[in-house]
Structure 1
């Protein structure tokens, strides 16, 4: 289906690998000009080579730092010709301590990766998105919707906060024609993912968990998340904002 994204400009944070890289590929396929972002310049250069598109640029920076987020956004807008239509906030990390071992510093680190990376970038990009009546999509997690016993508490709480932010900021942004939504993935398999490591270590036990917990009894793919991100960012969803959309194969019980 044509998503009417051709000619749009997009900044995708956390896109040097994994889900973010696949999202960047999807937006390029839809005819967008794309800026990819990550903390490591060499990884970004490798990602750009893998994408192999002429309408791609890159900006290195850690968007969990507000000053760096502002720099990333300003550079991206300049590279995109002065406008920004779509912002995808994909930075995040599910790695943390075991439940009951949380510390102040760990809470700070996980919130920086999973919440502030989004709020910093959105704050920096707000005026450009208002000018374009643009769209924001945050990549969250089903861990922020329902307690997943195996998930780190810090990660789950940070993603729940991100979901609350998306719902809360939708009305203020909506006054200016800017939409914001979130995709909440479940168990997604891609190179380097936790599920890739689990399957390598013990494929039978891993798939037994998936078959028990997931209605469709399969792992998702990064393209499943990318397709939803593109759909939500597109004009096809012009009357959709403030939503959190699970892409989990039917794992959530509530």
Structure 2
């Protein structure tokens, strides 16, 4: 499908692996020039090497928890054609607290990574979209609608904050023909998820999933790229769940049992 990205520039933050990597790949396959960022320099280099077979890609190692760094990334991306057409805020983490309560450092890290980076990204790209319009997609989480309990509850809170920010900034940017939406992935087969759960824990999680399986990163990436395209020109301030119907019904596993 031609989504209209030939000759366009797309930026994806936190894209050295997982969902961000898959989003960058989909943009490249649609003909966009892609700029990616992540903290780890080796990870960025590896991603650029692997993805370069699909199109023109640039990578920058920087910490997105800083307005200055997001401004630098936007400036570098805009230098390619003079503007930026799509921007995906994908930086995030689900770090568990070490004790019964969060320390100040733990709290600041999660708030910065999951929420401030999103705000900084939206602010950084605005000067380069305000003349010709564009699309921003913020990667939120199913946890923002179905809060995560016990030791990672701040993650859910910050992703809910991303949803709220998405709606307000969509209204603020609308006069400039800039659309802003949030995509809420469910449980997805990424290094972050697979490193945090045992197989038994995953099996229990999937009992509440209508499709009965984890998402693949490309299944999240395709809706993100579509929302960034002219085909989604009347969609803004929306929260799009891509969750396999997780926690939408009780006892989802029974459908699979009865149909065996």
Q: Give 1:16's aligned residue.
A: 16
**Aligned equivalents of 1:150 and 1:51: distance in 2?**
38
The structure-2 alpha-carbon separation of the partners of 1:131 and 1:99, relative to structure 1 and needing over 3 Å to count, comes to: farther
Greater shift after overlay, 34-43 or 17-26? 34-43
8 Å Cα contact 1:59/1:75 also seen in 2: no
8 Å Cα contact 1:10/1:35 also seen in 2: yes
8 Å Cα contact 1:3/1:236 also seen in 2: yes
Backbone CA RMSD of aligned residues: 1.8
Greater shift after overlay, 89-98 or 175-184? 89-98
Q: Give 2:87's aligned residue.
A: 87
Structure 2 unaligned residues grouped into runs of 5+: 250-260
**Aligned equivalents of 1:131 and 1:138: distance in 2?**
21
Structure 1 unaligned residues grouped into runs of 5+: none
The structure-2 alpha-carbon separation of the partners of 1:196 and 1:108, relative to structure 1 and needing over 3 Å to count, comes to: closer
The aligned runs of 1:126-145 (5 Å cut-off) are 126-145=126-145
1:168 deviation in Å? 1.2
Q: What secondary structure sits across from 2:131 in the alignment?
A: helix
**Taking structure 1 as the reference length, what is the TM-score of the superposition?**
0.92
Greater shift after overlay, 240-249 or 93-102? 93-102
**Aligned equivalents of 2:141 and 2:37: distance in 1?**
20
1:101 deviation in Å? 1.7
8 Å Cα contact 1:96/1:110 also seen in 2: no
For these two proteins, the number of residue pairs brought into alignment is 248
Q: What secondary structure sits across from 2:59 in the alignment?
A: strand
Greater shift after overlay, 65-74 or 237-246? 65-74
The structure-2 alpha-carbon separation of the partners of 1:155 and 1:90, relative to structure 1 and needing over 3 Å to count, comes to: same
The structure-2 alpha-carbon separation of the partners of 1:207 and 1:62, relative to structure 1 and needing over 3 Å to count, comes to: closer
Residues 85-109 of structure 1: CA deviation (Å, up to 9, x unaligned): 0001101011221795223322211
Q: Give 1:195's aligned residue.
A: 194
1:149 deviation in Å? 2.9
The structure-2 alpha-carbon separation of the partners of 1:176 and 1:99, relative to structure 1 and needing over 3 Å to count, comes to: farther
